[in-house]
Amino acid sequence: MNDLDAIKSGILINLLQSKQPISTSKLASHLSVTPRMVRYNLLAVEVWLKKHGVQLSRQQKVGLSLEINENERQHLIDEVSGINLLPGALTSVEREKVILLTLLSAPGPVYIQNLANKLLVCTATVTKNLNLIDLKLKENHLNLIRRPNYGLRVSGSEKIRRRMIADLLLDMIPSEWLLQIGRGLSYKDIIVLQEWPDKAKKANFLLEVEPLLEMLDLPESYRLEGLVEAELNISFPELAKVVLMLSLSIQRMRIRQNHPLYQEEVVVPPIDDVSLQSVIKILVQQIEKETGTDLPEAEKREMSLHVLGAETQPARQFVVRLSTEGSTWLEQLVDAMMAEVGQQLDQRLAGNIELREVLLAYLQPAIYRIRYKLPLYNPQAIEIKRMYPTIFKSAFEICNLMEPLTQTKTPEEEVGYVAMCLIAAVEGSILRRQPRVAVICPLGIATSKMLVSRLRKEFPSLYIVGVYSYENMETFQQENIDLIISTTAHSQIANLSDREIIHVNPLLYPADRAKILKWFQSFNTSTLSERG
């Protein structure tokens, strides 16, 4: 067995790194799979270990352990880390997404037999998937061309094609994983070392699309995204950083494949912002040097749109002639939206300064995203609509005020973002006391504010020291913190502090509240008083 899939490799790494017996249930928890799945893979793991002269010991009510010395242990850890990981079996839906990504990102025709060989299925299975893919493409105004002795090819708008590639990758691979790849972490390290819900499924998909990720060259786009931040003196939240990085990667890949955007596909307002003009010029020079070609104007405008559509910290208002109202159009729009908030929900909210600041930060990039059909990945939108129907309806009415500028209806992902701003405002700011809590949330301003407001409502005795992203979470003083509440399970957080970490959904489901309540009840009140 020269190759291992993600689950077997994960079992081996955990066994090798653990110097104490470890149970199958604990292994399953580390790998985000079921104990049954661990037991199912143990035989193959045991065979691999025996070939390397290591005995796997199983002790009832104690767990699994290895009979191995330290030198052998480290040697095998290094060997497992160097093995090529193989993807496990994909579901029909996952296979459909892999095929669709392959077709969308291919520079030329793709053959059914090659797809079948890649996915280890028969051509009839691929053909069945293609029928559903054809419908999906038609929904997005693209066409699947099938010709004998020619292969398969997607035709239609290049802009829509690029958006679909980004949407599929963000849907199937955690944005934090993509960001880590951009920072240079290997796929194997991500799969083996990082924990994540449904990790095995996401790891399978990651391995299947590894050739595409290689073509995208995320590390180079991460470097370019860093240039944008440095030149504009801003910082992007993690999710905005990932979306911009992906957009630049897809753009660079398609240019290298000789599939540039056509002139009529990208229309942008006049840009008077000198800083933005300067940073786009730098990006163009870098990409032209890489691809050895002169970029068409449509590609330059596409870059501008993606920068304009990214949320920034602090909020950056670019000088763009989007309205005839001059520089006051944004403030006027926010004033109108605040008045509508008061009418729709609570008149007291019309004067909420914090809500006004959040809307000001959100609106300009949102208008560019909506007007020019740039993607916003908001996985919470469906749940917010279900859990807060009244507020979601109000957010929809408020978003209607943007239509004169966006010239189209607001997508539900954007409405969900505004709804999160409203939830934070409606639930209000309640008196904060001890214990002291740090919140780590990489998903943007509205998400973090909504989570903090919910925490303050449910647990008014918590004193939230601050909200941190990956970029600045090392700035807090851990001796002044009793608990870390995080919206993502990330190994970097665990390495940062010896404080307990509770992983929650930004919507703070009942199970999340129960975990925090359990911790709160066990917290030593005398220690809390001393930390004052």
Shared domain check, 365 and 470: no
Q: Is residue 314 part of a domain?
A: no
For residue 251, what are the CA distances in angstroms to 159, 181, 198, 375, 381?
10, 18, 30, 14, 27
| Same domain, yes or no: 399 and 420 | yes
Instruction: Give the model's pLDDT for residue 4.
Output: 67
Which of 406, 426, 446 corresponds to the end of one domain? 426
Q: At what angle do helices 175-182 and 218-232 cross, to 10 degrees?
A: 90
Query: Residue 344: inside a domain, yes or no?
Result: yes
Do the beta carbons of residue 228 and residue 260 sit within 8 Å? no
Distance between CA atoms of residues 5 and 1, nearest Å: 10
Of 440, 394, 390, which is closest to residue 415 (Cα–Cα)?
394
Q: Using N-to-C axis directions, what is the helix angle for 112-119 and 92-105, rounded to 10°?
A: 130
How far apart CA 415 and CA 411 sit, in angstroms, is: 6
Which pLDDT score is estimated for 39? Answer: 84
pLDDT greater than 60 at residue 403: yes
At 422-472, the pLDDT tens digits run: 887 776 533 334 678 888 887 667 778 888 888 888 887 788 888 887 667
- Alpha carbon dihedral 158, 239, 414, 377, in 10-degree steps, equals 50
Query: Does 321 reside within a domain?
Result: no
- Which domain, by its residues, includes 405? 326-426
User: Do 385 and 470 lie in a common domain?
Assistant: no
Task: Tell me phi and psi for residue 122, to 5 degrees.
Answer: -85, 165
Q: Which amino acid, one-letter code, is at 69?
A: N
Same domain for 419 and 365: yes
> pLDDT digits over 171-230, tens only?
888 888 898 899 988 776 776 655 555 666 666 677 778 888 889 999 999 999 988 888
Assess whether 108 and 177 both reside in one domain. yes
Beta carbons within 10 angstroms of residue 321's beta carbon: 11
**Number of domains present in the structure of the chain:** 5
> What is the C-alpha separation between 448 and 171, in angstroms, rounded?
21
Residue 200 sits in the same domain as residue 229: no
Shared domain check, 211 and 122: yes
Q: Please choose, from the candidates 408, 381, 407, the residue with its C-alpha nearest in 3D space to the C-alpha of residue 395.
A: 381
pLDDT mean across residues, the chain: 79
Q: What is the pLDDT of residue 145?
A: 94
Instruction: Look at residue 111 and give its three-state secondary structure.
Output: coil
Whole-angstrom distance, CA of residue 36 vs CA of residue 10: 15
Q: Which of 405, 426, 447 is the last residue of a domain?
A: 426
The lowest-confidence range among 112-121, 354-363, 432-441, 446-455 is: 432-441
Question: Measured in Å, how far apart are the chain's first and last C-alpha atoms?
Answer: 58
Residue 526 has pLDDT above 60, yes or no: no
Q: For 501, how many CA atoms within 13 A lie in the half-sphere containing its CB?
A: 17
Same domain, 261 and 339: no
Given a contact cutoff of 8 angstroms between Cβ atoms, the answer to whether 468 and 478 are in contact is no
Q: Coil, strand, or helix at residue 235? A: strand
- Per-residue pLDDT of 317-339, as tens digits, reads 554 544 444 446 677 888 888 88
Can you give the pLDDT at residue 429? 38
Of 64, 86, 108, the one marking the end of a domain is 86
Q: Are residues 179 and 66 in the same domain?
A: no
pLDDT digits (tens, 9 = 90+) for 131-186: 999 999 999 999 999 988 888 999 999 989 999 999 899 888 888 889 889 998 87
pLDDT for the residue numbered 81: 63
Starting at the earlier edge strand, list the strands of the sheet with 483-486. 463-468, 436-440, 483-486, 500-503
Same domain, 373 and 446: no
DSSP letters, 371-383, are HTT-----TTHHH
**Which of 58-72, 254-268, 283-297 bottoms out in mean pLDDT, i.e. has the lowest?**
254-268
Indicate whether 186 belongs to any domain: yes
What CATH code is carried by the domain that includes residue 116?
1.10.10
The HSE-up count of residue 467 (CA atoms within 13 Å, CB side) is 18
In a domain, 25, yes or no: yes
**Coil, strand, or helix at residue 438?**
strand
Specify the CATH number for the domain of residue 468.
3.40.50.2300
Residues 336 and 390 in one domain: yes
The one-letter amino acid at 188: K
Same domain assignment for residues 437 and 501: yes
Q: What pLDDT score was predicted for residue 424?
A: 79
**319 occurs within a structural domain:** no
